[in-house]
Amino acid sequence: MTAPLIIFFVLATLAVGGALSLIFQKHPIHSALSLIVVMVALAGLYLLLGAEFVAAVQIIVYGGAIMVLFVFVIMLLNAGIEEHTNFSKLAGFPGLLLAFALTGFIAATIARSTDTVQAAAQPGNMVSTRDLSTMIFKDFVYPFELTSFLILVAVLGAIVLAQRETKP
Amino acid sequence: MNAFLYANAWLIITVAKVALLLFIVLTVNAYLTWFERKVVAHIQSRWGPHRVGPHGLLQPMADGLKFLFKEDPTPAGVDRFVYFLAPLLALALALTSIAIIPFGPDPLPWKILGQTIYLGILPPNVNIGILALFAITALGVYGVALAGWSSNSKYPLLGGLRSSAQMISYELALTLSVVGVLLIAGSFNLTEIINDQTSRYGILGWNIFPQFLGFICFFIAAVAETNRVPFDLPEAESELVAGFHTEYASFKFAMFFIAEYTSMITVSCLCAILFFGGWLSPFPASWTWTYYLPTVLLLPAGLWVIWDGLRYETIFGKAILPGIGAVMCILAIALVIFPGVNNFIQAPFWLLSKIFVFLFVYVWMRGTLPRLRYDQLMAFGWKMLLPVSIANVVITSFAILRWGAIK
Amino acid sequence: MIPTNYYIVLSAILFGLGVLAFIFKRNIISIFMSIELMLNAVNLAFVAFSQAMHKLDGQVFVLFVIVVAAAEAAVGLAIIILTARNRQSLNVERVDLLKL
């Protein structure tokens, strides 16, 4: 039981616990807080995998901007506890079963593979930001510029959509 | 026992360093409140606290006792989990950001338990130092927003939403204004950024000269980020009762308070490290006679404290103040006698002095400037500060392209 | 060290939990959060494979996924605000008719 393995299991438990809490909490703000816990746990896992820049970006963008947006919308829309509906419990059970089957299928397929994917994780192999940025700006410069355009379109769309209608 | 210590040496040393740093930061926070009250009072031509202990030095202790013993009611209808989580989150994040700051370049000259002890909790080879600080700052919005929302009351909700919107807006300008420094230094690592500012002429190598615009943007954005005057409308007393921490009483309010002052300290550290050379001396390295500056400052200060303490009639004044003064004088003389210690102490001394200067500027602004109205604040952040930060990045990039790395 | 399979199994579990949340939650914002959970699970798989194969493409793609998720969150939440304004409810079961 080496230290990285212990840290992996702690972070994995935190992530799965956060995801379970997302499902079982009744108030959307508690679900949002659980999702933030999942994201921070995943950032820790990225650090364990040696992707330090991605870990920092995950916390800054996902945890510090996207989830803040979610929390703001929940506060502004005054979302309350989910109401009880007459959702058919009978139909829920096959849904649960199918979701488990999907997860099991994906996990089993990958876990059973015995080729190079298995043995290659090495410790302490931090990826330098310099290499990552060289790759973005040399090989992936066209998608990079496209994503900036995408963000511009999204911002404009969000502003236009959320405006209050002005009566003429 | 010995084997256990040596097997987990790194963990034990880190826990000990964290405990020591926490103690130091909390004490500095307490005396920072004293400092702020005294300075603001003197700016306003009055005395500030001067009854509780000589020069009001025991006032933070009295405040701490008050916070511990005051009644801590929980309002009705709050969301209990989030209500208790918010100040905890704010405090934890603020204190975590101090862990990333390096306080000196060299480790201690002797090894404890076989580990080299660096001044600062994280080792100096953390390659994403400043990005981690921004990550913690980004998460700091939650403390405010959740506190405002969970209080189940109008004023905190408004204050919390306004405050968190302000923090998010100025976060952009904050991160962009640092990009110029990162372009010059070529790394996110704080130690490397400081080492990149070394020069034969001392002060001329600091980042403030190429990046003056960046520094202005960074400082203004950081003041807005920490919700201090002139950007503290969401928590000002005359505007929104007390903003997002209206419904929080003794100990939880103290947690928000400590979080705010700790983030002030962190911002001062960052200003000093990124733009003012961190632990580098402003004098050229060849002027080794400047190494006696700590002694020259400490000795008269110690003598004055002794003389001042003897004027008092209370026990604290007569016994403890001269004791503190005597310790300062002995320290000053010890620095002259042991040149090894003197050389080691230079780097932390300069960093702490610069942090102190920035804290003084923060408090000075509090006593002097009026508050910005909320729409003026947001307009300034988006329409003035953000374009100026982006312009700084563009100009710096062109300058580096044209003249190579600046130096 | 830690075999890559562990990360992939964790990613699959998170993805499955995201699907479960998508099926069983009734609040539109919670459903949207389950989509973010699924995206995060996929990001973990990308970074794990990138580390396993010693290529950086996985991490670059994760950055793009994060950016796209941000854009999608912005527009999606704007649509949610509009829907909530028009239907006065955040329950998806009330948004099942084209007529208001």
Local confidence pLDDT in tens for the 168 residues of chain A: 778 899 999 999 999 999 999 999 989 999 999 999 999 999 999 999 888 899 999 999 999 999 999 999 998 888 777 666 666 667 778 878 888 888 888 878 877 775 545 544 555 567 788 888 888 999 899 999 999 999 999 999 998 987 777 666
Give the neighbours of chain C: at least 3 Cβ pairs within 8 Å.
A
The amino acid that residue A124 corresponds to is G
**C78/A73 Cα distance (integer angstroms):** 9
**B28/B40 Cα distance (integer angstroms):** 18
Is C90 close to A111, i.e. CB distance below 8 A?
A: no
Same domain? For B313 and B343 the reply is no
Same domain? For B324 and B279 the reply is no
Q: Which domain holds residue C79?
A: 4-94
- Chain A: give the shortest CA distance to residue C23, in Å: 8
Q: In terms of CA atoms, which chain A residue is nearest residue C25?
A: A23
Is A129 close to B81, i.e. CB distance below 8 A?
A: no
For B22, the enclosing helix (H) or strand (E) is helix B9-43
Please give the tally of structural domains in chain B. 2
Is A66 close to C36, i.e. CB distance below 8 A?
A: yes
Is C26 close to A38, i.e. CB distance below 8 A?
A: no
Note whether residue C25 is domain-resident. Answer: yes
Instruction: Tell me which chain A residues have a C-beta less than 8 angstroms from the C-beta of B132.
Output: 56
Note whether residue C36 is domain-resident. Answer: yes
- Nearest residue to A12 (alpha-carbon basis) of A52, A41, A50, A46: A41
Instruction: Tell me which chain A residues have a C-beta less than 8 angstroms from the C-beta of B131.
Output: 53, 56, 60
Instruction: Tell me which chain A residues have a C-beta less than 8 angstroms from the C-beta of C33.
Output: 22, 28, 31-32, 35, 70
Residues paired with C91 in a beta bridge: C27
Residues C78 and A162 sit within 8 Å (Cβ to Cβ):
yes
Same domain? For B268 and B354 the reply is yes
Q: Which residues are within 8 A (CB) of C70 and not within 5 positions of it... i.e. 6 or more apart? A: A61, A62, A65, A66, A151, A154
pLDDT at B404 (0 to 100):
76
Same domain? For B59 and B194 the reply is yes
- Nearest residue to B215 (alpha-carbon basis) of B85, B404, B358, B400: B358
8-state DSSP, C27: B
In B224-329, the DSSP E strands lie at none
Assess A75–C contact: CB distance below 8 Å, yes or no: no
Same domain? For B81 and B126 the reply is yes
**C79/C100 Cα distance (integer angstroms):** 16
Q: What's phi and psi for B271, nearest 5 deg?
A: -60, -45
**B32/B142 Cα distance (integer angstroms):** 25
Q: Which residues are within 8 A (CB) of B56 and not within 5 positions of it... i.e. 6 or more apart? A: B34, B37, B38, B48, B49, B50
Q: How many CB atoms lie within 10 A of CB A19?
A: 27
Which bin fits B56, alpha (ψ -120 to 50), beta or left (φ > 0)? Answer: left
Alpha helices, H only, B276-314: 293-310
pTM equals 0.91
Burial readout B223-255 (b: 16 or more C-beta within 10 A, e: otherwise): bbbbbbbbbbbbbbeebbbbbbbbbbbeebbbb
Q: Which domain holds residue B248?
A: 2-286+338-403
Q: Is B349 helix (H, G, I), strand (E, B) or coil?
A: helix
Residues of chain B numbered 83-122 and touching chain A (CB < 8 Å)? 85
Note whether residue C99 is domain-resident. Answer: no
Assess A126–C contact: CB distance below 8 Å, yes or no: no
Instruction: Tell me which chain A residues have a C-beta less than 8 angstroms from the C-beta of C83.
Output: none
Local confidence pLDDT in tens for the 407 residues of chain B: 777 777 778 888 889 899 999 999 999 999 999 999 999 999 999 998 888 878 888 899 998 898 888 888 888 888 889 999 999 999 999 999 998 898 888 888 887 777 788 888 888 778 888 999 999 999 999 998 999 888 888 888 888 888 889 999 999 999 999 999 999 988 898 998 998 888 888 788 888 888 899 999 999 999 999 888 888 877 765 555 667 777 888 888 889 889 999 999 999 999 999 999 888 888 887 888 888 888 888 899 989 888 888 888 777 778 888 888 888 898 888 888 888 888 888 889 999 999 999 999 999 999 899 888 888 999 999 999 999 999 999 999 999 988 876 54
Same domain? For B371 and B356 the reply is yes
**A25/C52 Cα distance (integer angstroms):** 36
A near C: at least 3 beta-carbon pairs less than 8 Å apart: yes
Note whether residue C71 is domain-resident. Answer: yes
Same domain? For B166 and B301 the reply is no
How is chain A classified by DSSP, letter by letter? --HHHHHHHHHHHHHHHHHHHHHH-SSHHHHHHHHHHHHHHHHHHHHHTT-HHHHHHIIIIIIIIIHHHHHHHHHHTT--SPPP----HHHHHHHHHHHHHHHHHHHHHHHT--STTTT---TT-PPPHHHHHHHHHHTSHHHHHHHHHHHHHHHHHHHHHHSPPPP-
pLDDT at C34 (0 to 100):
95
Dihedral sign, Cα of residue B280, residue B281, residue B284, residue B288: negative
Is A147 close to C75, i.e. CB distance below 8 A?
A: no
Residue in C37, C60, C70 closest to A132 by CB: C60
Q: How many CB atoms lie within 10 A of CB B269?
A: 25
Q: How many CB atoms lie within 10 A of CB B136?
A: 22
Least confident of B240-244, C36-40, C53-57: B240-244
Residue in C33, C64, C81 closest to A31 by CB: C33
Same domain? For B178 and B301 the reply is no
- Nearest residue to B359 (alpha-carbon basis) of B265, B281, B256: B265
Please give the tally of structural domains in chain C. 1
pLDDT at B338 (0 to 100):
86
Q: In terms of CA atoms, which chain A residue is nearest residue C17?
A: A19
**B186/A129 Cα distance (integer angstroms):** 10
Q: Is C91 helix (H, G, I), strand (E, B) or coil?
A: strand
Residues A19 and C37 sit within 8 Å (Cβ to Cβ):
yes
The tokens describing A11, both together, are 């972070």
Q: How far apart are the first and last CA of chain A?
A: 70
C near B: at least 3 beta-carbon pairs less than 8 Å apart: no
Q: How far apart are the first and last CA of chain B?
A: 53
Note whether residue C73 is domain-resident. Answer: yes
Assess B267–A contact: CB distance below 8 Å, yes or no: no
Assess B378–A contact: CB distance below 8 Å, yes or no: no
**B190/B318 Cα distance (integer angstroms):** 44
How is B29-45 classified by DSSP, letter by letter? HHHHHHHHHHHHHHHTT
pLDDT at A15 (0 to 100):
96
Q: What is the CATH number of the domain that holds C73?
A: 1.10.287.3510
Note whether residue C100 is domain-resident. Answer: no
Assess B212–A contact: CB distance below 8 Å, yes or no: no
Mean pLDDT of C28-53: 93
**B255/B245 Cα distance (integer angstroms):** 10
**B373/B298 Cα distance (integer angstroms):** 43
Give the neighbours of chain B: at least 3 Cβ pairs within 8 Å.
A
Is A126 close to B82, i.e. CB distance below 8 A?
A: no
Residue in A69, A100, A121 closest to C2 by CB: A121
Same domain? For B109 and B133 the reply is yes
- Nearest residue to A58 (alpha-carbon basis) of C17, B131, B142: B131
Note whether residue C79 is domain-resident. Answer: yes
Note whether residue C47 is domain-resident. Answer: yes
Is A29 close to B188, i.e. CB distance below 8 A?
A: no
Q: How many CB atoms lie within 10 A of CB A88?
A: 8
- Chain A: give the shortest CA distance to residue B34, in Å: 33
**B194/A3 Cα distance (integer angstroms):** 32
Same domain? For B146 and B122 the reply is yes
